[in-house]
Amino acid sequence: MPIIELKNVWKEYGREVVLERLNVRVEEGEFVTIVGASGCGKTTFLKMLLGTEQATRGHLLLDGSTIPGEPDGSRGIVFQRYSVMPHLTVERNVMLAGELAANRFLGIAFGAQRQALREEARQMLEQVGLADATDKYPHELSGGMQQRLALAQALIKRPRILLLDEPFGALDPGIRRDMHELVLSLWRSQKLTVFMITHDLEEGFLLGTRLWVFDKTRLDVQAPGAYGARITYDLPVEKTSPPLASLNAQLADTARVLGH
């Protein structure tokens, strides 16, 4: 059974069609990278997976049943910014998922349970390379380290799917490369299913096992909202040599028409 399945999914805001006729299946363990001009519904699609937006038509299935209509523990997320809790130390940020599960009323763990959560958090922090920063607050970390923390915090919950919304968009190139290695190693070791939005085609080809291009197949220059975007390319990454130049040109065309 596919982990995510879309059956004729549409998303409309009033008369504006954002996404139309999406039919796609994703198996467990795939790393899907999503590119497309801004305004082509990439973020809307991710929000539908997350549960903060609902499909207006069709069916969006997680493990064969309708995806929950609000965010919950089945789907983890890392945003470009603001993903971690500024008022908690690094360690407490990573312990958060366990603490929330341990005590439904207070959301705080005590005693042996707390020790166990701390131990687990330490191991996770070791994996993402933050072992030396456990007692720091997020504001004391660099942008890259904050994103490492956000990954650790999300992954310790063991979500069915991990959603990444341009997680490295605000980072320097060198730091981005480190983060690519980290994400790939976490994806392999934890057997994750990942959906990642990126602006950077090369990043998409580098990280993904499968690359989707969101684009409008029909584009009315007078009414850009009349038709929605679809997945115009669904490329299995290992088997194709990336047609970077032509894809980039197409995306730029759409972006011009949409005026972004």
Partner 1 sequence: MKKLINRQPSKLTAVVLGLLPFALLLLLYLSASGARLAENPDDRLLPAFSTMAESIERLAFEPNRRTGEYVLWADTRASLQRLGIGVGLAALVGLVFGVANGAVPYIRATLSPLVTGLSLVPPMALLPILFIAFGLDELSKVMLILIGITPFIIRELQGRALEIPDEQIIKLQTLGANTWQIILRLILPQLMPRLISAVRLSLGPAWLFLIAAEAIAATEGLGYRIFLVRRYLSMDVILPYVVWITLLAFLIDIALRRFSRWRYPWFHAMQR
Instruction: Convert residues 62-81 into a mask of x (bound to partner 1 by CB under 8 A) and - (unbound).
Output: --------xxxx-xxx-x-x
Task: CB nearer to partner 1: give 106 or 226.
Answer: 106
Which class for 236: exposed (0-12), middle (13-18), buried (19 or more C-beta within 10 A)?
exposed
Taking CB under 8 A as the criterion, which residues in 203-222 touch partner 1?
Answer: none
CB of 113 to partner 1, least distance (A): 15
Beta strands 16-26 and 65-66 are unpaired
Pick between residue 75 and residue 230 the one whose CB is nearest to partner 1. 75
Q: Is 60 in the site for partner 1 (CB under 8 A)?
A: no
Residue type, 46: L
Q: Does 86 bind partner 1 (CB under 8 A)?
A: yes
CB of 74 to partner 1, least distance (A): 8
Site for partner 1 in 88-117 (CB under 8 A): 96-97, 99-101, 104-108
239 binds partner 1 (CB under 8 A): no
Q: Are strands 65-66 and 57-62 parallel, antiparallel or unpaired?
A: antiparallel
**36: exposed, middle or buried (C-beta count within 10 Å: 0-12, 13-18, 19+)?**
buried
Q: Is there binding between residue 157 and partner 1 (CB under 8 A)?
A: yes
Q: DSSP code of 52?
A: S
Q: Which of 137, 160, 176, 258 binds partner 1 (CB under 8 A)?
A: 137
Report the Cα 87 to chain-centroid distance in Å: 24
What is the distance between the alpha carbons of residues 75 and 68, in angstroms, rounded to a whole number? 10
Q: What is the 3-state secondary structure (H, E, C) of 77-140?
A: EECCCCCCCCCCCHHHHHHHHHHHHHCCCCCCCCHHHHHHHHHHHHHHHHHHCCHHHCCCCHHH
* # binding residues, partner 1 (CB under 8 A): 36
Q: How many residues does the chain have?
A: 260
Candidates 6, 9, 50, 194; binder of partner 1 (CB under 8 A) is 50
- Please report whether residue 85 would count as binding partner 1 according to CB under 8 A: yes
Among 15, 139, 191, 239, binds partner 1 (CB under 8 A): 139
Q: Is 153 in the site for partner 1 (CB under 8 A)?
A: yes
139/191 with CB nearer partner 1:
139
Which residues, 6 or more positions from 191, have their beta carbon under 8 angstroms from its beta carbon? 28, 29
**Binding-site ranges for partner 1 (CB under 8 A):** 50, 52, 70-73, 75-77, 79, 81-87, 96-97, 99-101, 104-108, 137-140, 150, 153-154, 157, 159
